[in-house]
Amino acid sequence: MSSTRAVVLHEPERLSLETIALDPAGPEDAVVEVAFSGISTGTERLLYTGRMPAFPGMGYPLVPGYESVGRVVDAGSHSGLSVGQGVYVPGARCYGEIRGLFGGAAARIVSPGARLAPLPDAFLDRPDGLAQGTLLALAATAWHAVEIAGETPDLIVGHGALGRLIARIVVAKGGAPTVWETNPARMDGALGYRVVASADDPRRDYRAVVDVSGDGRLLDTLISRLAPRGEVVLAGFYSEPLSFSFPPAFMREAHIRIAAEWQRADLDATVSAVASGALSLDGLITHREVAEDAARAYRTAFEDPSCLKMILDWRRTA
């Protein structure tokens, strides 16, 4: 039986890099040698802290991660892929009794070829293109949030990596959004839009607000800034129940929309936009660690406000 090095989260706040068994590949599978994997400060933070709501298949120990990129080293006859092809890996379930939630944080993975997203040369040949493939899940999430909004978003709440991607996509589509941010360390980095504190923004006629803060307590504030029949798109993850005051929402005939998981069409559109130069992923990966230092990397990703995106480098992992 083959094996791989992988991040294993045994219980909340206890993870390590370990050698674990790897399921054999079938004719529809591809084996991918992972070069880089990203750390999600949304979903993976909930797994790490133990605050992830229960769902079928949830449990520890688990291999986290759904932001990996690498190259195919073995392709089954029915996988639809070729050896040497660069691919984005949205996770894997190939570790025997160890759960893959979401299974991408490993040096080598086995996955059905249909789940993997081939990356064109125009994407990979850009400076740092392979590493930036770790941003595709986040960028596809941003694309999905913009696409489902009833109108082009003109206010984005939060200037982390996801907020910046949403703002860049809106600008690429011809918009000029405002972004709210409370952390002074995250006020810079705007490309074609402005970043302000909410207290410094008097505007109360926003047509479409996209919130990526994950803070449900802001809902009343966001509704109060809407134009009549404006909408709030909830694009963060909210682990606590949401509520809002009805009269202000009633007076505005406010719409509240939830942006769920990105779809393959969102990913494909994002890859095309990056490959064509319409969407830039530059400046979003702020921290890198070798996979052997995964425990430190996860703490930094979740605790350091200057960290927009942490990625693990698997290329020299034994």
- Mean pLDDT by groups of 10 residues along the chain of 318 residues: 92 95 97 97 90 83 96 97 97 94 95 97 94 97 96 96 98 96 93 96 98 94 98 91 96 96 95 96 97 96 94 90
SS3 76: coil
Round to whole Å and give the CA distance between 217 and 214: 9
pLDDT of residue 98: 95
pLDDT of residue 239: 77
pLDDT of residue 318: 60
pLDDT of residue 51: 85
Give me the helix-helix angle, 161-172 and 136-148, nearest 10°.
60
Closest alpha carbon to 116 in 99, 136, 145, 142: 136
Spatial CB neighbours of 251, under 8 Å, sequence gap ≥ 6? none
Closest alpha carbon to 302 in 294, 314, 291: 294
Residues β-bridged to residue 7? 17
Residues β-bridged to residue 6? 18, 106
pLDDT of residue 122: 95
SS3 3: strand
60 in Cβ contact with 10 (< 8 Å): yes
Query: pTM for the full model?
Result: 0.93
Across the beta sheet with 3-11, the strand order is: 14-21, 3-11, 62-63, 99-100
Residues β-bridged to residue 179? 156, 195
Find the DSSP H helices in the chain: 43-49, 121-124, 129-132, 136-148, 161-172, 219-224, 246-252, 264-276, 294-303
SS3 137: helix
If one counts every other C-beta atom within 10 angstroms of the C-beta of residue 229, the result is: 12
If one counts every other C-beta atom within 10 angstroms of the C-beta of residue 304, the result is: 13
